[in-house]
Amino acid sequence: MIERPAFTVGIEEEYLIVDPDTRDLVGNPGGSFMAECAELLGPRVSPELLKAQVEVVTSPAKDIGGAGEELRSLRSAVCDIAERHGFRVIAASTHPFAQWAAQEITDKERYLMLAQDLQGVVRRLMICGMHVHVGIEDPDLRLDLMNQVVYFLPHLLAMSTSSPFWDGGDTGLKSYRMAVFYSMPRTGLPEPFSSWAEYQRHVAVLRDGGVIEDASRLWWDIRPSARYPTIEMRISDVCTRIDDGLTIAAVFQSLLGMLFRRRQENQRWRTYATMLIRENVWRAQRYGVEATLMDFGRGVLVPYPDLVDEIVELVRVDAEELGCLDHVLRAPLIAAQGTSADRQLAAFRAVVDTGGSVQEGLIAVVDELIMDTKTGL
């Protein structure tokens, strides 16, 4: 019998830096901003692909509570540093009206090489996400649990949506970030792998052929981390409110706990064809918590809140064991009240529907995000 994994948790969040006067992105915040971040926060904060972005990374924590405490501290510190430099921070996966062509690539070898390799596809990546790492030490177990938890990725995406606007317009999607990111190669859902050795053989084909440098160039919605003994969930938008992000992280951790428990009982979650899961990803991307997702076992579309209730009951015992039940129990609240995408759309419509211009509505969205990012700590 395989030893129980540690199920440690690490969270990465990416933010956008905005000008409080124009509400547009700060195309080049200057070196002093990142220098102060590095001085105060060390390696837990780093630049991202665009100069208008910044990323924070928690240390591995034994539970969601520990990860959440550090994440709040990091976000608060970045917000305070930004304000000292005359900027503001928004935790959203797209900016409502900023122009991607006006953004500057960070002067870092990794990013410059990506821009050279992928050209316009990379330059459009004016998007932010949240990644959740859960520690699974055994590599074969890591692949097995990853194959099974793929089924639930659409459910996690729907709960996280924060990118309804792009290029000054309502896209009609709750997560337009996904539409932008999927233009990249080696994105989307991974195919199932029967073992760690099989996965490594596939990576070796691309690496040895000179297509990729290493497995970190596989930008799937979920992957075995190339740096840590973790499963890295990457499908979610960044959540404007930290509690929403922690709920998603807790549900993900608990799902893995549930799948491990079932494995120990000689049970497993049924796996479905990637094309079927992809349909639910699209529905989550398009409708968010207002979606109906396919229950493939029953062959019917089910309202998202009903599916969330089922997931909570499915993982309740595991969430309690992992010490994150309180966070998991918030999932139905998100399903009922909506996500950042819903709040952004409400702020926009409150202005436009009462005679304000589209631009005034978009500025109201940025103001909502600035407030929600900081007060949602």
CATH number, domain at 339? 3.30.590.20
1 inside domain: no
- Kindly compute the dihedral angle of the four CA atoms of residues 87, 88, 92, 96, in this order, to the nearest 10 degrees: -70
Q: Residue 39 — very low, low, confident or very high, per pLDDT cuts 50/70/90?
A: very high
Specify the pLDDT at position 113: 83
Please say if the pLDDT value at position 1 is more than 80: no
Average pLDDT value for residue range 3-20? 97
Alpha-carbon span 18 to 361, nearest angstrom: 16
2 inside domain: no
197 inside domain: yes
Percentage of the residues of the chain whose pLDDT score is greater than 90: 92
- The tens digit of pLDDT for each residue in 121-165 reads 888 999 999 999 999 999 999 999 999 999 999 999 999 999 999
Alpha-carbon span 207 to 227, nearest angstrom: 16
3 inside domain: no
**What pTM was estimated for this model as a whole?**
0.96
Average pLDDT value for residue range 282-300? 96
Q: What is the largest CA-CA distance in the chain?
A: 65
Specify the pLDDT at position 325: 98
- The tens digit of pLDDT for each residue in 317-334 reads 999 999 999 999 999 999
User: Is 18 within 8 Å of 24 (Cβ atoms)?
Assistant: yes
What's at 148, amino acid-wise?
A: Q
- E strand or H helix that includes residue 54: strand 53-57
Q: Please state the domain count of the chain.
A: 1
Give the distance from CA 255 to its chain's centroid: 17
45 inside domain: yes
The boundaries of the domain holding residue 196 are 9-375
Nearest C-alpha neighbor of 223 from the set 324, 114, 134, 159: 134
337 inside domain: yes
Please say if the pLDDT value at position 31 is more than 90: no
Average pLDDT value for residue range 227-251? 97
Please say if the pLDDT value at position 376 is more than 80: no
202-212 burial by CB neighbour count: b if 16+ within 10 A, else e? ebeebeeeeeb
